[in-house]
Amino acid sequence: MSALLDLTVLELGRAIRKGEVSPVEAVRAALAVAGDGCGGAFISLDAEEVVKRAKALENGAKKIENPLFGVPMALKDNICFTGLPTTCASEMLKNFRPPYDAYVVERLNNAGAICLGKTNMDEFGMGSTGETSVFGPVVNPWSPDRVAGGSSAGSAAAVSRGGCWYALGSDTGGSVRLPAAFCGLTGIKPTYGTVSRCGLVAYASSFDQIGPLSRDAADCAAVLDVIQGHDCRDSTSLPGAYGYLLAGLTGDIRGMRIGMPVQSFGDELDPEVRARVSEVADVLRNRGAVVEECELPALEYAVSAYYVMACAQAGSNLARYDGVRYGHRAPGCANPEELHMQSRTQGFGAEVKRRILLGTFVLSAGYYDDYYRKALMAREQIKQEFSRLLERYDLLLTPVAPGPAPRLGESLNDPKRMYLSDIYTVCANLTGLPALSMPCGFHSCGVPVGVQLTGPALGEDKVLNAAHAYQQETDWHRRRPECFGKGGTDRWSGRR
């Protein structure tokens, strides 16, 4: 295994800028893992093109002074990148090649980043385990019989196995934070509106947000510094100047006030996860923060409100895949109705169909008031409770998931249980607030446990700084799974 793989983004970037390591060397080290199965983490990669890009950067007249220069990364397969197909892990888009790069890809390209490949995910981002992909599931790097977490499963597994140094995911209800937790990584969902959704295939537009997964908070800050910013092509993009996050990482959290909502530590929480998260509170206290219990009664409505709204938005966003203008076209149909029906029947998987049905139902004339309007009210209440709490506290500390990564197959047969596992993560999407997940120990079943920090709107600096302080005290983020640097085709059923 190449020693390069063990470096952080910042360390590798520094070595490249100093000329100690070449982008081609970095690319080859990562390709040895990413191009070799990588536990189902990748849907597509083009090794030749990647090496070409690395050579071009190496020989380029001007070196770009950015921490990401020359550092290979991967993109979730719902982010448009002209170099490869964008499939959303769905039969519906299996042959879709985007004609343009997403905003985040443009920014990364300008910073001299190298996109190694596109990563596996739950179909259209719908799932919490990485198992609803048409290409087959992603395996947890720490335990091959467990899931990697979803929906950005491949992005997490790729970084965790040493297939790249960081990856972008998208987070609609926890899809960056949950896989980060299950794979032992640091991942952040930024404030809604700070990272453009231009070129991100829509799932639930009022929740979707792109975020980085990497090994530590400093790497996340470096990536966010590049991808955030105002974009006039996204009407929900926040205008204004964005401060540099990396420069603000002091690790000084003296006097910082952190609340732990007691409702997030209820009976549904696995006792070992509870214990690991409580230990985080002690570490933060030792660094000078004040951590105390607080109340968040509206948490009980979060999952219901989220799934009603997410499915409703998914139902309308996915209406465009009609076999005529977009997506898979069923062969041999006699008339437009049949074409529409067959294309969607063949193109979408079971979980996506379930969401479309649910979404159509909650928006239908007779039921709108009973479900969608109520969900809007619940969302408002949750927002108010969070803003009240964040007047008193700088951050909120909670678990990421109620238990450790489930076994493969377990959740597919029990969708309700899968939905409930999103209880702690969906709040940040319902409120638009920034939230980070980082590793804080292990479960006795062998997989990492994550902890979540949620901050006020545009409070990424606080969230990252607290995580940075924690990571200066602990080394959970430095642990690597046994398969690290090795690739491996276990349970791989996709194409390469």
**2 noted as active-site residue:** no
Quick check: 436 binds ligand GLN (CB under 6 A)? no
Q: How far is the CB of 121 from ligand GLN (least distance, A)?
A: 8
CB 170 within 8 A of CB 150: no
With respect to ligand GLN, which residue has the nearer C-beta, 126 or 256? Answer: 126
**18 noted as active-site residue:** no
Contact residue for ligand GLN among 73, 79, 126, 396 (CB under 6 A): 126
Of the ranges 2-10, 170-178, 329-337, 437-445, which one interacts with ligand GLN (CB under 6 A)? 170-178
Torsion, Cα 249 250 256 260, to 10 degrees, reads 50
The C-alpha atoms of residue 97 and residue 245 are separated, in whole angstroms, by: 33
The C-alpha atoms of residue 449 and residue 185 are separated, in whole angstroms, by: 10
Sheet-wide strand order for 72-76:
42-45, 114-119, 72-76, 166-170, 210-214, 186-189, 435-442, 448-454, 395-399, 257-261, 290-294
Contact residue for ligand GLN among 86, 90, 140, 175 (CB under 6 A): 175
Contact residue for ligand GLN among 310, 395, 397, 405 (CB under 6 A): 310
With respect to ligand GLN, which residue has the nearer C-beta, 84 or 147? Answer: 147
Of the ranges 62-70, 126-134, 136-144, 287-295, which one interacts with ligand GLN (CB under 6 A)? 126-134
Quick check: 173 binds ligand GLN (CB under 6 A)? yes
With respect to ligand GLN, which residue has the nearer C-beta, 165 or 203? Answer: 203
Contact residue for ligand GLN among 91, 171, 219, 385 (CB under 6 A): 171
Catalytic residue among 175, 214, 237, 437: 175
Fill in the per-residue mask, 410 to 429: x = in contact with ligand GLN (CB under 6 A), - = not in contact: ------------x-------
- Binders of ligand GLN among 194-233, rule CB under 6 A? 203
With respect to ligand GLN, which residue has the nearer C-beta, 54 or 447? Answer: 447
Catalytic residue among 151, 196, 237, 264: 151
Of the ranges 25-33, 43-51, 120-128, 160-168, which one interacts with ligand GLN (CB under 6 A)? 120-128
Q: DSSP 3-state assignment of 238?
A: coil
Q: How far is the CB of 127 from ligand GLN (least distance, A)?
A: 5
Please spell the DSSP secondary structure of 319-333, one letter per residue: GG-SSSSSS---TT-
- Binders of ligand GLN among 136-155, rule CB under 6 A? 151
Q: How far is the CB of 139 from ligand GLN (least distance, A)?
A: 19
Quick check: 125 binds ligand GLN (CB under 6 A)? yes
Contacts within 8 Å (CB) and 24+ apart, 53-56: 53/114, 53/115, 54/22, 54/23, 54/24, 54/26, 54/27, 54/114, 55/23, 55/24
Quick check: 127 binds ligand GLN (CB under 6 A)? yes
With respect to ligand GLN, which residue has the nearer C-beta, 283 or 310? Answer: 310
**Cα atoms in the 13 Å half-sphere on the side-chain side of 205:** 12
When computed from its CA atoms, the radius of gyration of the chain, rounded to whole angstroms, is 21
Closest by CA to 43, choosing from 145, 119, 123, 150, is 119
In Å, what is the CA distance from 171 to each residue of 10, 152, 198, 206, 433?
Answer: 24, 8, 15, 11, 12
**175 noted as active-site residue:** yes
Quick check: 343 binds ligand GLN (CB under 6 A)? no
Contact residue for ligand GLN among 8, 172, 317, 454 (CB under 6 A): 172
Name the DSSP class of 202: P
Of the ranges 29-37, 47-55, 109-117, 169-177, which one interacts with ligand GLN (CB under 6 A)? 169-177
CB 379 within 8 A of CB 305: yes
Closest by CA to 183, choosing from 442, 356, 409, is 442
Please spell the DSSP secondary structure of 21-47, one letter per residue: S-HHHHHHHHHHHHTS-GGGTEEEE-H
Catalytic residue among 44, 76, 90, 237: 76
Which region holds residue 323: left if phi is over 0, alpha if psi is between -120 and 50, else beta?
Answer: left
Q: Are strands 72-76 and 114-119 parallel, antiparallel or unpaired?
A: parallel
Which residues are designated catalytic?
A: 76, 151, 175
For binding to ligand GLN (CB under 6 A), which residues are involved?
125-128, 151, 171-175, 203, 310, 422
